Structure 1
């Protein structure tokens, strides 16, 4: 076995192990989601953990980008494990890809979030009322995500997710992918990417690296590359 072939096989095995580890975590997050929603519906105080969990995701984003969306998000786990199997996979409308519309979605969702928070929890000191609001909010946006996922692909909602948008802003330059010269631009990376990011089209002319703040670092593109031309730096 040549050294190059040995390195390729070693990298492939490492990627498959990472994908397996990620899938196990996602199943745990899916179980957590169902337990959380059921428990929060009966015991609203549980909803307080939602903003605390988001703060944790923010801290991760400062160092690792949106990896928390790809690995630890309960809602994202639901989309990938269940919704992906029943999605109609219609072509995504351009409004989900255009940065201008995504900013508009962020503004609308932010205003709605603040309006309903102030309207439903006038007494912000009450943890139970605040917890109930976050439970209702989480169930509502998850339902919207399910509908969009069934129509346009499992993680369509992640492109306009309020929390995900904030995390993507913090992820600028945090996830760096190197694309080797043997990339043949076959498009496999885009086909398996739940956000339809095409690595080959994003490669700079001088520096063969990709810095995409929406990357969830799920390793699906690396696993699908027939030339083993991709790797995270």
Structure 2
């Protein structure tokens, strides 16, 4: 099974990329030039002020040690679970007490020689030694546990939290306090991706408040979860902006989301590393699905975690639905599904969800563009577009894969093509010497098409989607006529 915690890019600014250079400058350079340690005084003052206004923002965006751990150490870190004790208030209190005792005791001694020629060197050396110890301990934990293990109980982080509490008590940081904000909790996939990429190993998706904000004081506001959210519904905002976003976000397509009790009825291999899973719904209440929607499948209990999959087909009476899953190398979720899901097992689903990709039934000209496993939503969408119109609509499907053996649901689309002369099924293979049909990419198949007036639905790998968007715009397709999602 793939690792739960994911190593992903956490560097979103030049400051975060290069501020680690401050660490060797002070921690090691200060051994020869002790006055370099005096740089710690404005640094500590700044982080305390920023803590008052923005919580642990310094830790996630400006801290030199944080930059060191995220940009230099993370690639070689074991990156395992941070022990609960290191994240506890006891550990934070002990580390803060130790740090302040060491710093305070030495400062008192040095103040005794205030005004002497060596005073500044002695004062700077105190900060150098403290910084060096933090560097050694923090780097060791970053290598052997997790890049931000030290940050769980870092004394400077605790200082930020204390300063932040004061800011909240005085109600002076409401405008500046930007927290992780979810547009609407109804739209959350509950996939846990925000937790898996979180440097502090927190669980935002399980802890959003009624104001749609993540209130944990341990959050370092680094935006890693924001950048990695599959649903694209996270942001950093203050309470006022969070309320505005909540009120303005349309949840059409998510209002009927509910928990659904189901049983895994069939597992059908589709070739290679792709399986189709069909669920029988045991709830008495009918589940109404629309072509283009997706469903959440519960994959584990602790922590609760789901995976989102396009509904590839569903029965008219709402008693069954199917999803298609491609096993990803090292994929945490797909490993669980392929290894643990057996026919007859009870499964918890949530949904149906989504409106952005739902088929517009008023469209007379429709183009579907699929890449690889991105074909799955079009199984039902193409059938509906063809059959419900009585074969009156112009419907095209461009389906691209790397090798000819990767086509799935080929018989299904071939039957549609046979039954309806207005349905055009175009298969494209990127690299297969034995393939006799069209070769290249889906964008090559678009070149000779007159696509004006078409509604276009795309699903596939991000590079395919990006290239197709350019090709469609070049072909004169309006932005409002293009709907897409990545697979």
TM-score range, shorter chain: 0.7 to 0.9
Residue 192 of structure 2: which of 176, 184, 187 is its match? Answer: 187
- 2:168 is the alignment partner of 1:178: no
Q: Does 1:75 align with 2:65?
A: yes
8 Å CA contact 2:180–2:221 kept in 1: the answer is no
C-alpha distance in 1 between matches for 2:27 and 2:84? 32
Residue equivalent to 2:147: 154
2:47 corresponds to which residue? 57
- Cα deviation code 1:60-100 (max 9, x no counterpart): 22222221211211111111111111111232221112223
Q: Which has more helix, going by share of residues?
A: 1
Could you say which residue in structure 1 is the equivalent of 2:25?
35
Report how far residue 118 of structure 1 moved: 4.1
Contact 1:203 1:209 in 2 (8 A): yes
Q: 1:30 to 1:108 in 2, by over 3 A?
A: closer
How far 1:38 moved relative to its partner? 4.2
- Confirm whether residue 199 of structure 1 aligns to residue 204 of structure 2: yes
Residue 223, structure 1, aligned to residue 233, structure 2 = no
SS of 2:189's partner is coil
Q: Unaligned regions of 5+ residues in structure 1, if any?
A: 1-18
Structure with larger RCO (C-alpha < 8 A, sep 6+): 1
Change (3 A) 1:159 1:47: same
How many Å separate the matches in 2 of 1:192 and 1:63? 25
Paired position in structure 2 for 1:167: 160
Any conservation in 1 of the 2:180–2:226 contact (CA below 8 Å)?
Answer: no
Paired with 1:195 and 1:59, the residues of 2 have a C-alpha distance of 22
Confirm or deny: 8 A CA contact 1:175 1:215 kept in the other structure.
no
User: Which of 131, 136, 159 does residue 124 from structure 2 map onto?
Assistant: 131
Alignment of 1:101 with 2:106, yes or no, is no
Secondary structure class of the residue paired with 2:214: strand
Q: How far apart, in 1, do the equivalents of 2:143 and 2:110 lie?
A: 30
Unaligned runs of at least 5 residues, structure 2 = 1-9, 169-176, 238-487
Q: Which residue of 2 aligns with 1:142?
A: 135
Cα 1:94–1:203, aligned 2, differ >3 Å: closer, same or farther? same
Q: Per the alignment, in what secondary structure is the counterpart of residue 28 of structure 1?
A: helix
Q: Secondary structure at the match of 1:132?
A: helix
Q: Are the structure 2 counterparts of residues 176 and 141 from structure 1 closer, same or farther at C-alpha, using a change threshold of 3 Å?
A: same
- In 2, distance between residues paired with 1:122 and 1:82? 40
Query: 1:99-141: per-residue Cα shift (whole Å, max 9, x none)?
Result: 2332233223322333344457753551110101111110111
Shift in Å at residue 20 of structure 1? 5.7
Aligned residue for 1:212, secondary structure, equals coil
Match of 1:178, SS? strand
Is the contact made by 1:30 and 1:75 (CA closer than 8 Å) also made in structure 2? Answer: yes
Check whether the contact 1:175–1:211 (CA below 8 A) recurs between aligned residues.
Answer: no
Distance 1:144 1:55, change over 3 A: same
Instruction: Give the TM-score normalised by structure 1.
Output: 0.82
Report the counterpart of residue 92 of structure 1 in structure 2.
82
- So what's the TM-score if we normalise by structure 2? 0.41
Residue aligned with 1:232, SS = strand
8 Å Cα contact 1:66/1:213 also seen in 2: yes
Deviation at 1:189, TM superposition (A): 0.6
In terms of mean alpha carbon deviation, does 31-40 or 175-184 score higher?
A: 31-40
Q: Which has the higher strand share?
A: 2
Helix, strand or coil at the partner of 2:72: helix
User: How many correspondences in the alignment?
Assistant: 213
Shift of 1:229: 2.2
